[in-house]
Amino acid sequence: MSGEFKIIDEKIGLLGATALAAAVTAIPTVFLLLTTQMPAVGVAILGRVVLGSPVYRYRIRRYAARGIDLETRMKQLYEHEQAQAAQ
């Protein structure tokens, strides 16, 4: 075992994989604790997700209608940020 894990196109080490696992378990735990203690917060978070998802999809379709490939654009932004960080 090499100690590296591949997620999407990025290799992360054991520490990164541990951090990812912690985040994946911590977020639902915090959400459950919030909703049991303060139901209004849970409703607000769920409302944001429920309302935000259609808006996000609409924006993606709007970009596509204008001929903008959002995936390519985001990859170019990522590459540009990596190049700037390397300097």
**Model confidence at 11: pLDDT above 80:** no
User: Which residue carries 């290799």 as its tokens?
Assistant: 11
pLDDT at 71: 83
pLDDT at 1: 46
Summarize pLDDT for 46-67 with one digit per residue, the tens. 899 899 999 989 988 999 999 9
Residues 6+ apart with CB under 8 A from 11: 4, 5
Strand partners, 4: 13
**Model confidence, pTM:** 0.49
